[in-house]
Amino acid sequence: MSARRVGWLLAAGLAVVAFAVWLSSRRHLERDMMVGALVLPGLEHNVNTVTKVSLRKGDGTRATLQKGGDAWRVEERGWPADVGKVRKLLLDLGALNIVEEKTRLPANYPQLGVEDVSSPKATGTLVDIAGASRSWSVIIGKSSGAKSGYVRVAGAPQTLLAAPLLTVDSDPKGWLEKTLLDVPVARVRQVEERPAKGPAFTAARDKKEQNDFTVSPLPKGRELTSAAAAEPITTALGSLTLDDVRKADPKSDPPATHALYRTFDGLEVDVAGHKDGTHAFIAISARSASKDTAAEAEQLTARLSGWEFEIPDYKYNAMFSPLEDLLKKPPQPAKKATAGAAKPAKGAKPSGDAPSSDAAPSAVPSK
């Protein structure tokens, strides 16, 4: 072999070695650059331009958050969304950064909860974010400790361990604005209870300084469990929140129990309640008997009219407490005495001090 040929082979070998070293360094450099990089680049600068967020699971549950103006709405309910909760989700998604690369094998996706949500057995949640000029999609999988979890950009093979840990909810009611009404007991002057069944009654006080409400009318011979027996009723509209909401069905008119709240400043709030299986629903209407609260009544009517709100069961039971629950239990009647003395059993000796017929005669004193 000529020296020239040997030189060419040596040069080619050195070139192959150099290329391998360069390629290896590029791979390590790429990996080093990936760690700490954003999972959804560009979102962090476009949070305020996002107009729609959709969350979907494989079991079919879906929540769609739509922005209109400065307000967010849960499309599946038509009710305002919790703006603070939506904004936190977007900020966390924008800040989501890579901690470590994980599997690229689809067969391993289910272990991390990042399989496609087209499968009914998928446990992850697909989050689609639509902005003014671009969009992002990511599957949020299982958690890995308290600070990070597994994610996969939709359509990409690479699974990632990323932080911060995201907890997303595809149930629409989890995104609802929960605040419903707040009429503190300090404002309440009177509550009229008109149950669908049972006696009607009123809890009232004359002055704000009175802590306890007088309940009337009371059944003859009955009394309240305590002076504060009506407290659950009179405080029920304070910081009232909803669990879920639905449009009222004008064709449905189930028997309802009513509680009419009157305040010292003239606001009147009529709450109609009924049970639908294990769920407690109320409808709310408001009016004003004073110009001081006319605007408040109008605002409540505009926001609450035409809706039915599911509220916690304990709140419902407090709001519509029946009169019997406010009263002491009536005294138990005394047991009646037996009609006659029980006859002794046959052959039994009579009780008492009288001697029996078989007893020996007493001794006669001697003279």
State whether 200 and 149 are in the same domain.
Answer: no
Q: Which of 142, 171, 200 is the last residue of a domain?
A: 171
* pLDDT tops 80 at residue 363: no
Q: 123: domain range?
A: 43-171
Beta bridge partners, 179, equal: 241
Give this prediction's pTM.
Answer: 0.78
C-alpha angle 231-236-242 in degrees, rounded to nearest 5: 160
Report helix, strand or coil for 113: coil
| Residue 29 domain-assigned (yes or no) | no
Over residues 294-303, mean pLDDT: 97
Q: At residue 50, does pLDDT exceed 70?
A: yes
In this structure, the answer to whether residues 188 and 314 fall within a common structural domain is yes
Torsion of the alpha carbons at 155, 156, 161 and 163, rounded to the nearest 10: -60
**Count of the separate structural domains present in the chain:** 2
Average pLDDT over residues 213-220: 96
In a domain, 247, yes or no: yes
CA dihedral (231, 233, 234, 239) in degrees, to 10, reads: 110
Least confident window among 28-42, 65-79, 151-165, 286-300: 28-42
What's the mean pLDDT when you consider all of the chain? 88
Does 15 map to a domain? no
Phi, psi of 287 (to 5 degrees): -150, 175
Q: Per the domain annotation, does 352 fall within a domain?
A: no
Q: Could you tell me if residue 66 is inside a domain?
A: yes
Q: 321 and 297 share a domain? A: yes
One domain, residues 159 and 250: no
Q: Is the pLDDT of residue 29 over 90?
A: no
Which of 150, 171, 192 is the C-terminal boundary of a domain? 171
354 falls within a domain: no
Mean of pLDDT values over 335-350: 56
Are 191 and 122 in the same domain? no
**pLDDT tens digits, one per residue of 118-141:** 999 999 999 999 998 899 999 999
pLDDT score of 24 more than 60: no
Q: Single out the residue in 171, 200, 222 at which a domain terminates.
A: 171
Residues 316 and 295 in one domain: yes
In a domain, 166, yes or no: yes
Q: Are residues 167 and 185 in the same domain?
A: no
Residues 97, 124, single domain; the answer is yes
Shared-domain flag, residues 127 and 202: no
CA nearest to 83, candidates 203, 91, 271, 46: 91
Q: What DSSP state is assigned to residue 42?
A: T
Place of tokens 């070998």: 13
- How confident is the model over 267-281, as pLDDT tens digits? 999 999 999 999 999
Please give the sequence-ordered ranges of beta strands (E in DSSP) within 155-211, or none if there are none.
160-163, 179-181, 188-194, 201-204
Residues 255, 310 within the same domain: yes
Query: pLDDT category, 18, cuts 50, 70, 90?
Result: low
Q: What is the pLDDT of residue 360?
A: 42
